[in-house]
Structure 1
Amino acid sequence: MPPDLTRTRRLILTSVLRLQAEGQPATLGAVTPLTGLTKAAVSYQVANLRELGYLEPANGRYAPLVPTDRARALLGDGGYPLVGDIAAGQPAHAEQNVEAYITRLDQVIDMKEGDYLLRVRGESMIGIGIYPQDLVIVRPTDTVPNGDIAVVLLPGESTATLKRLEHKGAQVTLRSENPDYPPMTFPARDVRIQGCLVAHIGQANLRNRRN
């Protein structure tokens, strides 16, 4: 990064870009709470950012802040930084080089039109890391391959459940990923599949409270 783009100035610019990516006006009043700075400090740095060519000149007293092409080239379009890889096997040094900025789920997950999110209740899938309060991304479908995880409406019930499906002849077995929850077997004709699991999003702070 250029030496004139200090940590504080970078924080302000990133906040501006993030608001724009979310479709919100990046006014001084909207940016200030995101930075943890005082409004006077942000206003002072905004003036510096304009002089240095990172923000467009003011277009009215209450007009939104507009990053220049130079700022976008350095910081991307806002969002959360993707800074490289981390090993899930043998430890490896995590490089702090920004590769991209993530502003939408569909930039990192293979989401399609019609996909939706559900909040998880219960602990039947903790064996594959899906905990209560996690979010799962679901793709609507009425069929899934054998062994895949699906959202299923159980016979005689009005609520759906997330389970691994196993087809065997005229029967379907719904398996949990927790030994405390036994498998459930139903006639295949009575099981209504509503969607397949695409991905899930967990929250570390909630998970830590359970352990």
Structure 2
Amino acid sequence: MTTTRDGLLTAAAAAFDRDGYVRATIDDVCDRAGVTKGALYGHFSSKKALAVAVLDRQAREWAKNREHLQRVHRSPLQVMVDLGYLVNQDRAVVQRLLFQAPICDDVADRQIAQWTSTVRDLLRTADYRGELRDDLDLEACADAVIAALVGVHLMSMAVEHPDGVLRQVAGVWRIWLPALARPEVCATLRVEPPRKFRV
């Protein structure tokens, strides 16, 4: 069952996606959700609080997807690859809030730290399983992988067709996986997007 709060978050995500943070209005969010301003302010103290909640919901979904992928894939490196595509699945909202709205700068730091921590954990697991090349600095590798994926986010603001973003993410993995994984492991990994993300 969808709650009023969930409906507001969905409506806000659509409004921020269409208009960006600055131009999106509380009135528009309320109209989309079919609620009054009083109902909105019963859940969120401000437009910024609403934007932060949208980003937090997206981060929770990403964490749930990570758990699902870890059940599906044997290799933590394949989990990392698919998470790279998942981050870009909601790129319109993330771009307009996380990377463009100065009011959400503090949230960007927190979310990027979460992504980096996730990649670091997956790399450590892959290292424990003997999947990685010897003598890698896993901290530096995690930072660099996230920097590359964030770069794709920023570049994709100029790309109209989502398939272009998928090609850019695949390019990140074609460069990074051979640098990280042992050749015999790299040969088993899919660098293309999962079928459900293909356009």
TM-score tier (shorter):
under 0.3
Q: Which has the higher strand share?
A: 1
Q: Which has the higher helix share?
A: 2
Higher relative contact order (CA 8 A, sep 6+): 2
TM-score by length of 2: 0.27
